[in-house]
Structure 1
């Protein structure tokens, strides 16, 4: 089985949805796929406990009602199937999609750093808690502490409170001066300023960081540090996230160059690989507004409509300044690299402690010697942590990129036998 597209888009978050509408509006035949069952990405995640913004619903409906867009849900990229084709798989079967242009909108994931007790049941990422609640996790009456860095902490706290939880503390590692500096910039983006009023929480504490999660069989409390003083709070849940990491693995596998640990793009959102574009948080974290405009630029550029893409440059520059402010004022304190103790697990899948990984000089060597990053998550958690802690750059993944069925892999042989010179390397 095979499918053809003028423009293939990987990821149905804000960037992917807007890219699809832009390219389809320019007359392209678009295929949009995402590994989640519903579109919207992490920021607009749908579910039993979710309240999806009107903008997200309008975009999703526009995509689903557009005759020029074919959307595949719960679909993952397995491998390359030629220079202009990918092998993909959904819960039922695998097939090859050939394309003229490819747009990567693979988003980002949370940076989770190891600290004593972080593997206890009841400890999640800040965004992870949001996703669980949107998916229907009951938190009514639970005491929750949220720690780490960035505006996501406030958004996670808001979601928890709206679902009946008691948020005891929001521990932001950035200093009071940094947080005040960021707040002073918000009038430049009135929508963000208005949004911040709704997210304000009396339990917010800057210059505060997690020290340890406390408990035996599950989380019972947390230990925080502020101004050299320790504070312990009893709670049922701890949500801890230290910002976002661009999902660059597919881009790496396709040969795209990286810059600042994100996929490197030019003014047209084009990568250094001919025919491949990237947009949204895989090119650097900046919020949904930046992702939307980057997606539109990439969609128009991939369709050859450079004039429409160029008209979006000023809007992109405006939201890029917001992204720059986020990176500047919420930069991580190097002290966070010392949260883990020697026996703190760094790789939870393979039970590898921090000291065992720190004894090596690069990610590949650590994997070979300790199996760090070779478990169920395939380094998505410990790889990001090691990248921050040791300044290691994970290598490009080898196919298959995800666990897959044998009959799906057999499609590669069929594709090799039947592909045309345009779609084969």
Structure 2
């Protein structure tokens, strides 16, 4: 069958990263109508992000080709969810139009974003996230002959370092906040996942230091250097770029708006990848950070369950458990040092959109009280950055995203029926 432009599909998948693509490929043989929404130009998510300087893995290329050959699957790239428009109904927008789409079942594969923690100078031009640096380089940013410092935690630091070096940058320091004992213990257990052991060896860097974290970005109009704590010593390193990533945070905003249970910053799912809301499933890093391998198998399970293939889905549980074991070790080894909560000075900006300082927030007992008093979270990102930082810094519950979930055209909002609200 050919899936035409329609306002209804049997299965809707939000997110075309590894989990979303795997879910669609698993569900497609049943012949039902499937739509995949993604805000990127091409499927692959952040981990398989495309661009002029990107080398998309063969697995991702193969999955893209398979999706293209499926007549019952339609991919909506460059598309965003604007708001809910009733039960099992969403208002969507892409570059050309806005429209309403209803569905029978939904799989959330919304991925994760970087956790950015404020520190003095973090708003200077030249400071980005670690994953953000990777995305910029893949998108064509020239970094040849630039000196770069990468700081934060987790394997993403080494991956970003390798990407930068491959494109001619000099990585002068990779500062991993986890202690050597934790990193060594994690590495010693990688024999259970041979491909990860090989990957770790290929990404090794002489600039790598453990028990190390950024203290401040230095400069006036743009970044000129970085002050880094390395063990008991403090280094000041001249550089043109600083990339910081303090782990990942699941994207749960749409799930929360739908009414799915979220706990410990992740969408709660059962063994079938089912959320607390009937006919709604979730897979990949929106259910917890675990890497592409875990996302792929979770996506396949969700896709199979969504079309009633529970026996086939159960056959994948052992593989999921294997990769969940890797994820558990990873998250334990690279858990954040509580000292990182103290990086910000009183004058450090926390909410970049509204220019709200740490001192302006610290005396408030909740996100809502702080927002009423300071306008934090009321800018373009709607608290996606500062709200997550405030959760880490102060233990506040993150804000519930209010519709519209992202800026939208008036013509798109006009698609709502009478009685619908934004």
Fold conserved between structures, TM > 0.5: yes
Q: Does 1:91 align with 2:95?
A: yes
Question: Is residue 356 of structure 1 aligned with residue 360 of structure 2?
Answer: yes
Once residues 211 and 241 of structure 2 are traced to their aligned partners in structure 1, the CA distance between those partners, rounded to angstroms, is 21
Cα drift, residue 2 of structure 1: 4.6
Alignment of 1:6-405 (within 5 A): 6-405=10-409
* Superposed displacement of residue 369, structure 1: 1.0
Instruction: Name stretches of at least 5 consecutive residues in structure 1 with no aligned partner.
Output: 417-425
CA contact (8 A) 2:82 2:404 kept: yes
Which residue matches 1:423?
none
Is the CA contact 1:81–1:415 (under 8 Å) kept in the aligned structure 2? no
Distance in 2 separating the partners of 1:393 and 1:52? 37
Partners of 1:2 and 1:96 within 8 A in 2: no
SS in 2 for 1:412: coil
Per-residue CA distance 1:278-321 (angstroms, 9 max, x = gap)? 00000000000000000000000111111111111100000000
Tell me if 1:5 matches 2:9.
Answer: yes
* 1:411 counterpart SS class: coil
Structure 1 residue 411, shift from structure 2 partner = 1.4
CA distance in 1, matches of 2:144, 2:318: 44
Whole-angstrom distance in 2 between the partners of 1:63 and 1:207: 44
CA distance in 1, matches of 2:282, 2:233: 45
Question: How big is the alpha-carbon RMSD for the aligned residues of Structure 1 and Structure 2?
Answer: 1.1
Distance in 1, Cα, partners of 2:352 & 2:404: 22
Question: CA 1:230 to 1:287, structure 2 compared with 1: closer, same or farther past 3 Å?
Answer: same
SS of 1:374's partner is coil
User: What is the SS of the residue equivalent to 1:83?
Assistant: coil
**Could you list the runs of 4 or more consecutive aligned residues of structure 1 that deviate by over 4 angstroms after TM superposition?**
none
Rounded to whole Å, the distance in 1 between the matches of 2:37 and 2:176 is 35
**What is aligned with 1:419?**
none
Structure 2: where are the runs of 5+ without partners? none
Greater alpha carbon shift after TM alignment, 326-335 vs 79-88: 79-88
Distance 2:157 2:207 in 1: 12
Aligned length: 416
SS in 2 for 1:386: helix
